A and B are shown apart, each in its own frame.
Chain A
Amino acid sequence: MEADGAAVLLLRRLNSILDSDPLIDEVGFVHPTQLASLVGSQGGSLAGDVDCKLYCRDHKLGISTDVVVTLYREAKRAFFEAKKKYEAEEGTDSEEMEDDLIRFSRAVVLLSSDFGTAWNSRKMIVSKKGLLTMFMNELQLSELILSYVPKSDQAWSHRRWAIKMISGKSQTLQEILRKESELVEKIAERSKMNYRAWNHRGWLVSFMTREQVLTELNKSKSWAGLHVADNSSFHYRRRLLMRYLKNSCHENEKLPQGPSKEECHLWKEELNWNESLLKKYIGREALWLHRRFLSLCWIRHFSACHSPLPCFSENVTGGPDHFLDQELNLVTSCLVVPDNNFDDFEAQATHSATYTLWLAKQLPRTGGVEFAEKLRENNICSLVHKFCPNISFLEMIADANQSGTQGGN
């Protein structure tokens, strides 16, 4: 494809803006008239030849929407041309060709964030050079892109690649992990329930020390408490909690004696915190799902021990039966549906009733049957029929529990 003069000029301008301001932290695609008024009212570096199509001020880059396609096409053309040249002369070690590839691929990913081939060329050159500053630049570029495309799979993946590369080279890994975690929280604030972002944060957990896991549990608590519908943020806590348990399994040689006092305390605290959220925010599915996890782990790992657990002496709770009785009390209190504000309370009743049915099904066989019996005494099954008349699978499970059999595989 032939290069077109105006487009070449435009791409050159874009690259020179990006080169001259490495601290750009925002990119906006702006309507031409809006961009014109921005330039008119505030000055800023005028970066168009006749019309102003690019604008940069205070580290914010504006690109006129009417040139986005032209700019992208030219960036792609220049990128592929540079790639071809580089591949043809591989081994000649030409700095200039490498620079071209880095600059043109940067323009491509800015305009099309999931263009994998452009990210790959960057990986190739950066790993060949092996310079820490270059890896850090990759983190910066992908952060910039994630600021306006928070779900970009390629940008997240590129970060993981860069971090893995750095982890072998630098002593600053722990600091990077801390910053990554903060970055995800910042992005999650604007992009709700972003699976890719939270998955990235979860990926960091495997690099964390036991102390960092605890710090993260503390730090992520207030955010989770303010975003009670975000299942991903609670899943992140589950991952941290499991990591904490697993870590101690390795460290604690005397595992058969059961979990430590700290672990019991941590779990109990999470259960209590979850209960307070359940009562404060009515009808939130993510909160009830978090409780399923916490309770089942509690029953499996903490209350199933034969020897008395250190935490039980603190009058907090007793064995599994006592725990389940408490849960049943909690659920019964959630099954009251007032006439007003019906929807939320109906949801609360549904989630709480299904929570108990779910637990009954996961419990070891004898415990499950006993618990199912208690559910029947407390009319939970008929309440499920009442609140979820259209959920056929629940009816089947409730019926199975009603007849005292477990609906097994």
Chain B
Amino acid sequence: MEMEMGNSGLAVEKHVQYILSVEKRKDDFVSVVMEHLRLNGAYWGLTTLDLLGKIHAVDVDEVVSWIMACQHESGGFGGNIGHDPHILYTLSAVQVLALFDKIHILDIDKVTNYITKLQNEDGSFSGDMWGEVDTRFSYIAICCLSLLHRLDSINVEKAVDYIVSCKNMDGGFGCTPGGESHAGQIFCCVGALAITGSLDKVDKDLLGWWLCERQVKSGGLNGRPEKLPDVCYSWWVLSSLIMIDRVHWIDKEKLIKFILDCQDTENGGISDRPDDAVDVFHTYFGVAGLSLLEYPGVKPIDPAYALPTDVVNRIFFNG
């Protein structure tokens, strides 16, 4: 199929080279101001490489020892060495270790303890000790603990209730109760409900309707009404639609074309929209989106855990 698509197919080699080059580039302003979330960047880049079958192009020991150096004594991970811990980076650390089948090197109790302490009385989760609450953090806590086989350490029922309290009349979800529906937040809420086996709490037709209305004429998806399409929503919207079994409601062919049109076929990488500058974030979401669309040559990805399916299977079936 890649042959049939000719020049418009996925430029796998170019993207691999692009990801590897970003890792080495440390001097321009963009790389410098991104260093506080380098662990997120590592997750985006390395998952992309794995989906493209090229994870072995990186030095595992080097990555793993750097990740472990980002761990704080509290058990949480910072975005880079010396930075304060936050749940956002803790999930990335666990996910990257999962990619390399290295979760066992973690002190599971310590990480579990860090996350468990962030659950609030109402079931919500704070992102760190400073108390900001967001359904993104609920997803992260649930996803992370599930990957560590420690979901029983939190009050799952309350966590689910809190997420449900963030549901809007349009079927979508926001960051906190009453917050505007946003495809990214919807992914987090639906993902958390999927992992905890609570998808019956979602009004699937209603949410499916809202999600399908994100597809614009060009075939791309936006994240909220009246916004421009953006490759990253290929992931947020599509994974949600798959989890609620409504993915057949959108035009997949047009979406594939939109993602492929966002590639830099010369230097590799994928951008938010055609002809914009590429970055690792959008490269990951483009490739992950294509994976959900069963594009040939890309490994399948799990829509809830956001990890390659074989990695998730290894954790839950061979562990």
How many whole Å from B218's CB to the nearest CB in chain A? 12
Q: Which of A7-15, A18-26, A228-236, A367-375 contacts B (4 or more CB under 8 A)?
A: A228-236
B224 and A193 form a contact (CB under 8 A): yes
CA distance A408 to B206 in the complex (A): 10
B84 and A239 form a contact (CB under 8 A): no
B209 and A116 form a contact (CB under 8 A): no
| Interface SS, B side | loop
Q: Which of A44-52, A140-148, A285-293 contacts B (4 or more CB under 8 A)?
A: A285-293
A286 and B36 form a contact (CB under 8 A): no
A-to-B contact residues, CB < 8 Å: 68-69, 72-73, 80, 111-112, 114-117, 120, 123, 157, 160-161, 164, 193, 195, 198-199, 202-203, 205-206, 229-232, 235, 239, 242-243, 284-286, 289, 292-293, 296-297, 354, 358, 361-362, 390-394, 396-397, 407-409
How many whole Å from B7's CB to the nearest CB in chain A? 25
B251 and A390 form a contact (CB under 8 A): yes
A117 and B78 form a contact (CB under 8 A): yes
Contacts of B37 in A (CB 8 A): 114
17 additional A-B pairs beyond A69-B32, A393-B246, beta carbons within 8 Å, are A112-B33, A114-B36, A114-B37, A116-B86, A193-B226, A195-B180, A199-B174, A199-B179, A203-B176, A206-B178, A231-B180, A235-B180, A239-B178, A284-B226, A286-B225, A354-B213, A394-B212
B226 and A242 form a contact (CB under 8 A): no
Contacts of A409 in B (CB 8 A): 203-205
Q: Interface centre among B37, B179, B209, B226, by most A CB within 10 Å? A: B226
Contacts of A391 in B (CB 8 A): 212, 215
B251 and A392 form a contact (CB under 8 A): yes
B-to-A contact residues, CB < 8 Å: 27-29, 32-33, 36-37, 78-79, 82-84, 86, 128, 130-132, 169-170, 174-176, 178-180, 182, 203-206, 208-209, 212-213, 215, 224-227, 246, 248-251, 254
A-B contact pairs, 30 of them (CB 8 A): A69-B27, A72-B32, A73-B32, A114-B36, A116-B79, A116-B84, A117-B36, A117-B82, A117-B83, A117-B84, A120-B130, A157-B130, A160-B132, A164-B131, A193-B224, A199-B180, A202-B179, A203-B176, A230-B226, A231-B180, A231-B226, A235-B180, A239-B178, A243-B178, A285-B213, A285-B225, A286-B225, A286-B226, A361-B206, A391-B215
How many whole Å from B91's CB to the nearest CB in chain A? 15
A202 and B178 form a contact (CB under 8 A): yes
| Interface SS, A side | helix
Contacts of A117 in B (CB 8 A): 36, 78, 82-84
B212 and A393 form a contact (CB under 8 A): yes
Contacts of B29 in A (CB 8 A): 68-69
